[in-house]
Structures are given as C-alpha cells and as structure tokens.
Amino acid sequence: MSRLGMHDVIVVGAGMVGAALALALARAGFDVAVIEPRAPKPWNAQDEIDLRVVALAPSSVDLFGRLDVWKQIAAARASAYRRMRVWDALAPGDLNFDAAEEGHAALGYIVENRLIQHTLWQALQREPRITMHSPGTVAATDATPDKRSLTLDDGSIAAAKLVIAADGADSALRGMAGIATSDRDYGQRAIVAHVATERAHDATAWQRFLPGATLAFLPLADGRSSIVWSVPDAESQRLLALDDATFCAELGAAFDFRLGRITATTPRASFPLRMKLAERYLAPRFALIGDAAHAVHPLAGQGVNLGLRDVDELCSTLTDARDTKRDFAAESVLRRYERRRRSDNVLSAHSFDAINRVFGSEAMPLAALRGAGMAVVDNIAPLKRAFARHAAGR
C-alpha cells in the first residue's frame, strides 16, 4: 500500500468546477491534489463543435479571467451573445434583454464544455502547487480530527486537511460521506444539436416556452445555433427517431420560425433532466461543490455558473481563514460557505423548477397570466435589470 502524501486540499473530480477550484486554491497558495478518473478528451479547433455547450455568465468569465484561462478560451472559440429573447407559445409578448442597456459588451458567452475542460486541464498540469492523480478513483474515505484520508482503487492512500467532492451529480464520494439528496426526475430529456438557419442568429440567445416543453437556441461562433429542446421522455424518443428533414421542419415550427427555416442539423443527442439537491454540504473535513451539491433544470443555463460561484465563495472562505491563522477546514469556518451557497443554490433550483412548471402548463388562465407577467417585467426597467443582474451573477 503506497501513500501519496499529505496535502492542504484534495479535490476529487476535475470537470469544469473541480478544475477551476483546484486552480483557484493553488493560485492562492494552497498545496492541492486532484484525483480524476480520466483526462478530458483534447480539444482541437478542427473538430466539430462539441454538442455540450454552456452559457457562461459574466461572473464565470470574471473568474476564468482571474485564473488566467479566459483569454485562451475566448481566442480558441467562444461566441458572445448580446441579446436574449424569451416568449411563450400560448401568450402574446416577448421578454427582451440587451447588453447595451446595461453598458456591457455581452450578456454572456456560449462555449463548448470540452474546450473549457481542456484549457483548465492544461493549466492544472502547469501549476507547481498541484499534484495530479489521474487516472484515479476513490474507493473509500475516513476522517480523523485533523485530516481526511482517501483510499484509491489501486490501494494507495492520499490525505488532506480538507477533501472536496466535485465528482458530479452522481457523486460517489458524497454517498461515502453519508450525505443524502432530495431528487426530482422531470420525466424529460434535453435534445441537443447544432443547426443552421435561414437567417443569422444576430448574437442572440432565444428561449421559447411550449406546453410541456422548452426550446433554447444559443448562438455559436460559426454562425449556427446550438439547440436545447427539453421534452417529455416519449416525445424525445419520437424526435430522435425522425430523419433530418422532418426533424428540421418540426424544430422550425416549434421555434416559430424566428430565424427562418432550419436548413441543416448535426446528429442529435439527449440527456435526462432531473433536480438533485444535497441535504447538506459538509461532513468532517469534507465539502461538496458544483453538481455534487446541486444539479438543476437546464432551462436557465445556470448549472455551471452556480458551480463556479461555489468556487469563488469556497476559495474566499478558505483563504480568509488561513490568512487569519484559523483552521480553514474546521466546520465553523466551512459553515460560512455552506450557508451562503446552499441558500442561493436551493433558491435558484426551486425557482427554475417553478418556472418550468408554470410555463409548461397548458391552462389558458395561467398562460394569460404568464404573458402579462412577461410584459410587466419587460416594461419596468429596474425589475428587468434585477433579473439580468441575477443571471449575470452580479
């Protein structure tokens, strides 16, 4: 049995959130180890654009800027969206956001998941304060008053003052720490593809609410749009089985032909929609972050942004404690992180859930109320600005 050493922090999981946290802590002077089962697939500019994209809020872009990775991401392939249009299939009126109204260049950026993961992975490997254990999978964990140990599947042992689980919505480490979750299966799948349209997307993100479904068009750097079409499970099977021409015709109708006809599509993929919220974020010498703490409905595109806000808060909490000579892994210190982030994450998750329920209803009185509500928000500048600032992470 080999021992991999003692660290300040071990981050388990090097997806976007885990890698960003490890990098932020190392840059703040912590000795960090990262355990990850597999390296991300390399990103190449000649490859087709990854079907999984994320809408990065300005708060996330700011964090990546501080980590010195945003310039590389933006130079590789990122698409700014400057406007957002939201409308309801059963009610009149649109809700419109424009970055220019706030004096900003963009509301956010559409970026491929794989590009972000690839860029962060390269930064992790260059960082002298980070020790990488990949491939590596945690098989067991136990804690003493001053450290937490992890036994890996090859029998080796790593230990740290604090272990952070960033291993996703189905976090095995969360289960090992005895933290339960409350779950909601939406009975829906999100269909994703990249499509070409008759008219240019005009750097605009679009979202339409349909009975029992939502449809988003996100602008890509090559002029196409990335779609996320959330529909009931049975409907997803039907749509995935359609030939390309029929799928494009149905997609255009669902989108109200806002960009004209859909002229081409990539192969489609889909993933199930669910909400999973950890009942607590802490255990002795242990904390949850990102999807391991909260997996939310994708309709607002905020899942990764919530996780990156976790990164900001946790890094700040640990750094402040260390700089004032306190035990940064003590429960009394970590409570600050849990209190601030769990309240925001739970509120956001249930807000997305409520929006999905309300806008998915076919009841005409409710549809009329939705339309009136969007009109009110769109015409009251301070209210609309508050919505925009929250989505931006400001």
Domains 3-65+114-183+274-356 and 83-106+186-273+361-391 equal at CATH topology level: no
Closest CA to 212 of 195, 247, 187: 187
Report pLDDT for 101.
81
Report pLDDT for 394.
53
CATH fold of the domain at 83-106+186-273+361-391: D-Amino Acid Oxidase; Chain A, domain 2 (3.30.9)
For 286-314, the pLDDT digits (tens) are 999 999 999 987 765 678 999 999 999 99
Angle at 12 between CA 129 and CA 277, to 5 degrees: 135
Report pLDDT for 209.
87
pLDDT by position in tens, the chain (length 394): 456 789 999 999 999 999 999 999 999 999 999 999 999 999 999 999 999 999 999 999 999 999 999 999 999 999 999 999 988 876 666 788 888 887 788 999 999 999 999 999 999 999 999 999 999 999 999 999 999 999 999 999 999 999 999 999 999 999 999 999 999 898 999 999 999 999 999 999 999 988 889 999 999 999 999 999 999 999 999 999 999 999 999 999 999 999 999 999 999 999 999 989 999 999 999 999 999 999 987 765 678 999 999 999 999 999 999 999 999 999 999 999 999 999 888 887 767 665 655 555 454 444 444 555 544 444 444 444 544 554 445 5
Pairing of strands 262-265, 181-197: antiparallel
How far is Cα 160 from Cα 6, in angstroms, rounded to an integer?
5
Architecture of domain 3-65+114-183+274-356: 3-Layer(bba) Sandwich (3.50)
* Rg, Å, the chain Cα set: 22
Report pLDDT for 7.
97
How far is Cα 174 from Cα 355, in angstroms, rounded to an integer?
28
For 232-258, the pLDDT digits (tens) are 999 999 999 999 999 999 999 999 999
Report pLDDT for 359.
52
Domain boundaries, the chain: 3-65+114-183+274-356, 83-106+186-273+361-391
What does the buried/exposed string (b/e) look like for 3-29 if buried means 16 or more CB atoms within 10 Å of the residue's CB?
ebeebbbbbbbbbbbbbbbbbbbbbee
Report pLDDT for 389.
53
* Omega cis (within 30) before 135: yes
